[in-house]
Chains A and B, each alone.
Chain A
Amino acid sequence: MLSLIQYEVDMSHDSTATFDPSLSQLQSWAALGAGAALLMYGATRRSLTGLGLTIAGTPLLYRGLKGRWPSLATPAEGRHGSGDTREALAGKRGVHVREAVQLEKPVAEVFRFWRRLENLPQVMEHLESVTQGGDGRSHWIARGPAGVRVEWDAEIINESENRVIGWRSLPGSDVVSAGSVNFDPVRGDSTQVTVHLQYEAPAGRAGALAAALLGRSPSQTIREDLRRFKQLLEAGEIARAVPSSPSSPPSSFGGAK
């Protein structure tokens, strides 16, 4: 469910899956410096070589400023951040996370808890609230570990009772994400819950900065949320040894799968 969209946020942080944020920043500065140097040196040579160096420096400058290399892709391909999940997440685009958990609870009970989306902040670490409209749409508010508030709207685009819930974020949201949760009966009266989350990797300075600050693994984050989900449904409470919430894996542990 949408629930997991929140991880988009982590993702950013987490983009360990796709790129190393600190490295990305370093590359940006290096490219910026090298691009500027080539441009200035080339422009002052007043020769064919100088012109060549100037031209060579341009993409470096672009890389330094924009955080990515200039692309010859068509506008449709290159346009991220439009908020349209079909555009941003089509095919191999975006980051994929899959995690699953098994519970000794019948599928109908597990589905019912999850489908009542307002329940999810009880088990999802960064989620503050979910408000459902009557039309399959919902509003989500999450707060990242650094206190960054993120909001998005989502709609359920596929629902089959006791089997699957599929969703996507709506344009205008802080995150671009889509995913599904499958509920499969196993061993008779037990249930396997499988989350498949897809989100657009945040690009540019903001994403890189968030990634550098938070650097956590999205798949581990979802795994921990599913663990709490299982604890609450099976055991009736979420295990803890101290008054504060359980510790979460630090960034040094685990990577995206």
Chain B
Amino acid sequence: MKAVRFYGKEDIRVETVPDPRILNPRDAIVRITATAICGSDLHIYGGYIPTMEKGDILGHEFMGEVVEVGRDNSRLRVGDRVVVPFTIACGRCYFCRQELWSLCDNSNPNAWMAEKISGYSGSGLFGYSHMYGGYPGGQAEYARVPFADVGPIKVPDELSDEQVLFLSEIFASG
């Protein structure tokens, strides 16, 4: 698939990379139908975000159609249209139970990095540095969505992509 990748300050390239695949039981794979460039992508573009690595796939505002689901994901079906939130949340830890999704304890495999820098780690994030998990983002043809039985919002057919895409982040974060 084609994807937007970070290579350094003001060096972003569109390249062909391997398609994502299911890695964990609650995953889903989404074929992206709409994605946005966020103001905070400019911080990455400007070289201000630590722990970005060459080749990282950008994009944390995206939506699309579910094309594959993991075996433990009973909430999504192939063919569902979904908007995917920026924050990756397990849905079961203390913070998720308070609906404080961005503080999820379990979704950042590199939490130790964020702890070294900030004291505590937030949740994993799509396309936003390795200290927030190193998850490939959604400025691509496909994306793997972890814990896809928690975050993605199903979209009814009568709403267009443009009407709902900003639920992924900017509508909520302003």
- Measured CB to CB, the nearest residue on chain A to B134 is A241
Interface of A is mostly: loop
Question: In the complex, which residues of chain B have a beta carbon less than 8 angstroms from the beta carbon of A227?
Answer: 111
**Which residues of chain B (18-52) have a CB below 8 Å from chain A?**
21, 23-26
- Measured CB to CB, the nearest residue on chain B to A253 is B116
- Measured CB to CB, the nearest residue on chain A to B90 is A235
CB distance from B108 to the nearest CB of A (A): 7
- Measured CB to CB, the nearest residue on chain B to A247 is B110
Number of residue pairs A-B, CB distance < 8 angstroms: 76
A243 to B134 Cα, complex, angstroms: 12
Question: In the complex, which residues of chain B have a beta carbon less than 8 angstroms from the beta carbon of A190?
Answer: 94
B65 sits at the interface (CB 8 A): no
A8 to B96 Cα, complex, angstroms: 35
B109, B110, B134: which has the most chain A beta carbons within 10 Å? B109
Q: Bin the interface of chain A by size.
A: 20 to 34
Question: In the complex, which residues of chain B have a beta carbon less than 8 angstroms from the beta carbon of A224?
Answer: 112
Which positions in A face B, CB cutoff 8 Å? Answer: 102, 104, 190, 220, 223-224, 227, 230-231, 234-243, 246-249, 253-254
- Measured CB to CB, the nearest residue on chain B to A248 is B112
A231 to B123 Cα, complex, angstroms: 13
Q: Once the chains bind, are A237 and B112 in contact (CB under 8 Å)?
A: no
Question: In the complex, which residues of chain A have a beta carbon less than 8 angstroms from the beta carbon of B21?
Answer: 243
CB distance from B90 to the nearest CB of A (A): 4
A112 to B72 Cα, complex, angstroms: 23
